[in-house]
Structure 1
């Protein structure tokens, strides 16, 4: 599909990577771009249509779907970073992260699926390199689950002509990664690659070399992905 003249909805569209998606879609000539956020007053991008949406609230999701029934590209970008430890953190912290990062995209995609099917649309889900490697506890688990759901949705929606693209990327230079000292990708470049992937019908977009290296390494033994295991007794 082409972004030009499309109708785009970006969850978490008020800041960070979401705002970059909104800006790039507008720059590519989208007919309308809904920037969805819990508080639509936080949307400040000129030309965007603010839309109230809490991805964890079924009523809010249903209301957004009723308002934006013209959507042709759904970008499931909204996310939370808790990174709970599976042994020591409260289980409620793990649940809270899954509510945003897994059940949120599930609720939103189910709500917008009829419109996407009717409009000949597309879904773009924002994953992470941590979909494939466990470094941040519950965060990695949520992204791994989202990756699996994306693969299933691709099969479920293909007969209706709706494409599904998954975006994988490492650290991105946004507020969420502000404390990270490692190299970070420019959100604008990540978004450009992601939307190019949507336009070309790509199943996956790997937006940086770290992500591409990890994907290539998935066929290796587990210990090769986690060097710290080499220090463990046999």
Structure 2
């Protein structure tokens, strides 16, 4: 992918990794960037096109596709974590919320933008996943379940969109220096570095990104006799 011709649509673009994606794309010379958020007034980066989008609202997805008919790169970054264990009182409600935003949302956007990407020559979809696609941690157990499901969705989309020339890239990353991980005492990746790793993968034609040592270690241990997914980090 040559970024000077790229028209990107980034969800959750007002903070954290989403904002870093916008900065990285601007630095790479992207032609246009749609910054999609629930409240467009929270977008404070110049040179972008704000778009109102709640990924749980089909009518807003439809409106976004109509407004952004030139998109060549969809970055599904928006996500939530309810911080629930599986046996907590509110676990089922937390899981439903996380599934709607973290699983159904990215799939709905990929489905909605697929015809646009085809018209633009194929393009690419990036889904922001997690090291928790493979691990389940008690403090984020329902979130972990949702990210495992989104990994499966990503793998399925890669197969189904291949015929129209649309690349599908999965980003796996551990803790990042963002609001979501603000209460966690652990080494954290720089979100701008993570975003740039994804852009490099797109330019090199790679379809998975393992953005930090934690993620690479867990991935390497998945096939071990005592698989890395069977314990914590």
Whether 1:187 and 2:187 are equivalent positions in the alignment is no
Pairing of 1:71-110 with structure 2 (within 5 A): 71-90=71-90, 91-110=92-111
**In the alignment, is the contact (CA less than 8 A) between 2:177 and 2:188 conserved in 1?**
yes
Shift, 1:110, TM fit: 0.8
Shift, 1:92, TM fit: 1.6
CA deviations on 1:73-126 (whole Å, 9 max, x unpaired) are 000000001132222232122101111100110111111110011112100110
Other structure's SS at 2:108 match: helix
Shift, 1:224, TM fit: 5.3
**In the alignment, is the contact (CA less than 8 A) between 1:124 and 1:164 conserved in 2?**
yes
Other structure's SS at 2:10 match: strand
Distance in 1 (alpha carbons) for counterparts of 2:229 and 2:65:
41
2:202 match: 198
Q: TM-score, normalised by structure 1?
A: 0.94
2:180 match: 176
Pairing of 1:11-90 with structure 2 (within 5 A): 11-90=11-90
Shift, 1:225, TM fit: 4.3
Shift, 1:227, TM fit: 4.9
Other structure's SS at 2:170 match: strand
Whether 1:129 and 2:127 are equivalent positions in the alignment is no
Distance in 2 (alpha carbons) for counterparts of 1:151 and 1:224:
20
Distance in 2 (alpha carbons) for counterparts of 1:94 and 1:167:
21
**In the alignment, is the contact (CA less than 8 A) between 1:165 and 1:201 conserved in 2?**
no
**In the alignment, is the contact (CA less than 8 A) between 1:170 and 1:208 conserved in 2?**
yes
Distance in 2 (alpha carbons) for counterparts of 1:214 and 1:113:
32
1:231 match: none
Shift, 1:3, TM fit: 1.7
- Residue among 211, 221, 224 paired with 1:217: 221
Other structure's SS at 1:111 match: helix
Moved over 6 A (4+): none
Shift, 1:221, TM fit: 3.3
Give the direction of change, closer, same or farther, for the CA distance of 1:56–1:227 in structure 2 (3 Å limit): closer
Other structure's SS at 1:50 match: strand
List alignment gaps of at least 5 residues for structure 1. Answer: 229-234
- Residue among 138, 141, 156 paired with 2:142: 138
- Coordinate RMSD, CA, aligned: 1.3
Distance in 2 (alpha carbons) for counterparts of 1:119 and 1:39:
28
Distance in 2 (alpha carbons) for counterparts of 1:143 and 1:83:
13
**In the alignment, is the contact (CA less than 8 A) between 1:74 and 1:123 conserved in 2?**
yes
Q: TM-score, normalised by structure 2?
A: 0.94
